[in-house]
Amino acid sequence: MSSAETLASADIAVVGAGAAGLCTAWELRRRGFTVAVVEQRFPTYGSSGRNPGCLWIQTRRVGLELALARAGRAKYDDFAAEFGDVFDYRREGGLFFWETEEQGAIMDDYARDRRAAGVEVEVLTHTQAREHTPILPATAIGAVFCAEDAQIDSLGFITAMESACTRAGVQIFRNTTALTTLREGDHAVGVRTVRGVVRASGVVWATGAWASTLKDEGLEVSMSTTRVGQMMMQPVEAQSGGILHGPRGVDGCGALADLPSFEASRFAPPISSRPIADGVAYDDTMALNRGGSLYVGHSIDGRGSLNPHISLESTELMVAAGRDRYPRYSGMGVMGLWAGLGTETADGLPIVGRDDGAYLNVAHAWGVASAPVCAQVLAELITGEDSEFAEGLSPQRAALTRDS
């Protein structure tokens, strides 16, 4: 292989410049490694830049999931101290509201469970909850408030992290699709890209849903792919507030769904003009960004696919939820309607560690919280440091089963 084919050389090659990839590059560079990052488009193109930036703590399952989410939130405290207020880190809490008395009885159990897990929550009336956000729907009867829940501007954070990595000496190559892993025996020693070879002593795949394509190289990553939809309206409020979760679809709320009293029929997705299609789910969230734009979503469909384009079915669900909840905004414009590719694992946790001679930092179903701390975990593994979360996130953990 001629030297003319070499695009870059580094200690570690990172494939993917979303939150997981850039944070991994940052953690490794801080530990003295030279790092080259290759990205098939640009850093904010994928799901890392297509979300409202919600950092949910109260909805996380007790144990590793909750501890990891809290550690992820703490990383943003560190980033804000180092980078400054460049990604709109808002610590105004989160509200999980209900709209029927039957839901309210279950949410009382949820609040007791959260307190038993060490999560400080308050059960609020509609009037009390309204003090925390201007977008609480009139349909809300009450809410569980958690001060630990927070929000970032995801686009702002990815941009800030890319700039920090560049200043630190990380090489970042945009529009550079990785084609294959280069190997010497069982060890990954670089990647071949459309622009040439990146040579390295180790390779990190942080490609989100696209890690499913590693099966073409013989590496079956134990995750499934999804498509996550989001709708953004033009600015509707000047006042900021906490993030919201409603009861019309609780796909991402393991702490609620695990309760003995939970009844899925009480938390059904939004009602549209026809029955919801098989394979379509909903996680009922609402949030405002710094400019006052309202995010409504998110839909979940397209399981097993890498098609990133939002479906009519999912669009209809979000429009139905927004129109019913916010009639006062019905004449406002829709500024964005998009989908990002997501992932799911059997236990709802990311996959972080070494597998088949390379390193993985993938399967971030709630990546706003998990990606930064998982980058730290992977850097700790690579450097041989003690890591609190490494064993529970390993690709070889018992909860993950591989297809034969």
Q: What is the pLDDT of residues 214-261, one digit of tens each?
A: 999 989 999 999 999 999 999 999 888 999 999 999 988 999 999 999
Rounded to whole angstroms, how far apart are CA atoms 227 and 337? 13
Q: What is the mean pLDDT of the chain?
A: 93
- State the total domains in the chain: 2
The model's confidence at residue 275, banded by pLDDT at 50, 70 and 90, is: low
Residue 362 shares a structural domain with residue 324: no
The model's confidence at residue 404, banded by pLDDT at 50, 70 and 90, is: very low
85-99, 279-293, 302-316 — which one is most confidently predicted on average? 85-99
Residue 159 shares a structural domain with residue 118: no
pLDDT of residue 227: 93
Residue 104 shares a structural domain with residue 239: yes
Torsion of CA 387, 163, 242, 265, to 10 degrees: -60
pLDDT of residue 276: 67
Residue 18 shares a structural domain with residue 127: no
Residue 252 shares a structural domain with residue 299: yes
Domain-located, residue 67: no
Domain-located, residue 83: no
Per-residue pLDDT tens over the stretch 60-106: 999 999 999 999 999 999 999 999 989 999 999 999 999 999 999 99
Hey, which residues does 151 pair with through a beta bridge? 54, 90
The model's confidence at residue 274, banded by pLDDT at 50, 70 and 90, is: low
Sequence-distant (6+) residues with CB within 8 A of 240 are: 90, 92, 288, 290, 292
Residue 197 shares a structural domain with residue 228: no
pLDDT of residue 135: 96
Residue 361 shares a structural domain with residue 248: no
Domain-located, residue 296: yes
CATH code (residue 193) = 3.50.50.60
Residue 328 shares a structural domain with residue 387: no
Please answer whether residues 97 and 143 qualify as being in contact, where contact means their C-beta atoms are separated by less than 8 angstroms: yes
Residue 217 shares a structural domain with residue 195: yes
Residue 132 shares a structural domain with residue 236: yes
pLDDT at residue 1 tops 60: no
The mean per-residue pLDDT over the stretch 196-223 comes to 94
Residue 168 shares a structural domain with residue 309: no
What 3 state SS string does the chain have?
CCHHHEEEEEEEEEECCCHHHHHHHHHHHHCCCCEEEECCCCCCCCHHHCCCCEECCCCCCCCHHHHHHHHHHHHHHHHHHHHCCCCCCECCCEEEEECCHHHHHHHHHHHHHHHHCCCCEEEEEHHHHHCCCCCCCCCCCEEEEECCCEECCHHHHHHHHHHHHHHHCCEEECCCCEEEEEEECCEEEEEEECCEEEEEEEEEECCHHHHHHHHHHCCCCCCEEEEEEEEEEEECCCCCCCEEEEEEEECCCHHHHCCCCCCHHHHCCCCCCCCCCCCCEEEEEEEECCCCEEEEEEEEECCCCCCCCCCHHHHHHHHHHHHHHCHHHCCCCEEEEEEEEEEECCCCCCEEEEECCEEEEECCCCHHHHHHHHHHHHHHHHHCCCCCCHHHHCCCCCCCCCCC
Domain-located, residue 69: no
Domain-located, residue 103: yes
Residue 247 shares a structural domain with residue 119: yes
CATH code (residue 246) = 3.30.9.10
Please answer whether residues 14 and 24 qualify as being in contact, where contact means their C-beta atoms are separated by less than 8 angstroms: yes
Domain-located, residue 299: yes
Q: Provide the token pair at 70.
A: 């809290």
Domain-located, residue 303: yes
38-47, 133-142, 230-239, 279-288 — which one is most confidently predicted on average? 133-142
Q: Provide the token pair at 229.
A: 């939809």
pLDDT of residue 7: 96
Quote the domain boundaries for residue 239: 94-147+224-344
pLDDT of residue 45: 79
Burial class (CB in 10 A: 0-12, 13-18, 19+), 14: buried
The model's confidence at residue 3, banded by pLDDT at 50, 70 and 90, is: low
pLDDT of residue 403: 44
Out of 324, 344, 364, a domain closes at 344
Compare 271 and 360 and report the one with higher pLDDT. 360
Domain-located, residue 74: no
pLDDT of residue 169: 98
pLDDT at residue 311 tops 50: yes
Per-residue pLDDT tens over the stretch 323-338: 999 999 989 999 999 8
